[in-house]
Amino acid sequence: MQYEVVLPAAGSGKRMGAGHNKLFLKLLEKPILIHTLEVFQQDTLCTGIWLAVKPEERLYIQTMLQEYGITKVKSLPAGGVERQHSVHSCMKEMEQVDIVLVHDAARPFITHDIIANLVQSAHTYGAAIAGVRAKDTMKKVRNGVIEETVDRDSLWMIQTPQAFQYDLIVEAEDVAEKVGFLGTDEAMLVERLGHAVHIVESNYENVKITTQEDLIFGEAILRKRALDLA
Ligand code: C5P
């Protein structure tokens, strides 16, 4: 089963404090954005990449794509104010495909086996997202005081990719846009339609590079993988 992927890459990365798009920062000599793109460039199930970018960064990114031999990018639509808008501007250009994946460009450590499981699950159920089990004790807190300890077995930390049948994500985005609903991920838009969203167990390496310390974790993950291959 083939898919196309939407990669929102139009954020400002304020929490990183780099002063420019954090996706241009390098992990072991290569930009974070390229690490992420290479996964999909090499994934045989992926037939196209839609990259939402800031218009003022488009030219720079196009040069990077050429330099690193990334050929699957079909279009670089302008991103929006919020991540959801950036995803939507890609979806507006995409034509009918079987499965659509949405994946944060800031998660460069996603693996082919998790992608394949997501695509299969979305094909079967309509919607499937990557997540990991909560590891710590979880408590609900109000005004600095614990209200309750939440049953950890029912809690998952949600990541991307999030995979959907094309018609479902198009409908979910259209409805969200009409009523002005802003979700923190695409699954929320599908949940609002009353459609079940399945979880595919991912791994703890699939981090989103957000703050300075994530760069250290990120390089450690790359070094470990290089050793595993040696
Ligand atoms: O800021 P954060 O890392 O949570 O954003 C997740 C992803 O969404 C990043 O790859 C970022 O570039 C992208 N994004 C976007 N448009 C926005 C905000 C974030 O494409 N307006």
Question: Domain locations in the chain?
Answer: 3-229
The verdict on the CB of residue 54 being under 6 Å from ligand 1 is no
pLDDT tens-place string over residues 126-183: 999 999 999 999 999 999 999 999 999 999 999 999 999 999 999 999 999 999 999 9
Residue 172: CA count within 13 A, CB half-sphere: 28
The verdict on the CB of residue 208 being under 6 Å from ligand 1 is yes
Model-wide pTM > 0.85: yes
Closest CA to ligand 1's atom 4:
210
pLDDT band at 81 (very low <50, low <70, confident <90, very high): very high
CATH assignment, 3-229: 3.90.550.10
What are the CA-CA distances from residue 229 to residues 28, 113, 139, 223, 225 (Å)?
16, 16, 40, 10, 6
Mean confidence (pLDDT) of the chain: 97
The Cα–Cα gap between 99 and 117 comes to: 12
pLDDT band at 13 (very low <50, low <70, confident <90, very high): confident
Q: Which residues contact 136 (CB under 8 A, 6 or more apart)?
A: 152
CA 219 to chain centre: 19
| pLDDT score recorded for residue 174 | 96
The verdict on the CB of residue 105 being under 6 Å from ligand 1 is yes
The Cα–Cα gap between 157 and 129 comes to: 11
**CA 10 to ligand 1: nearest atom:** 20
Mean pLDDT of 43-67: 98
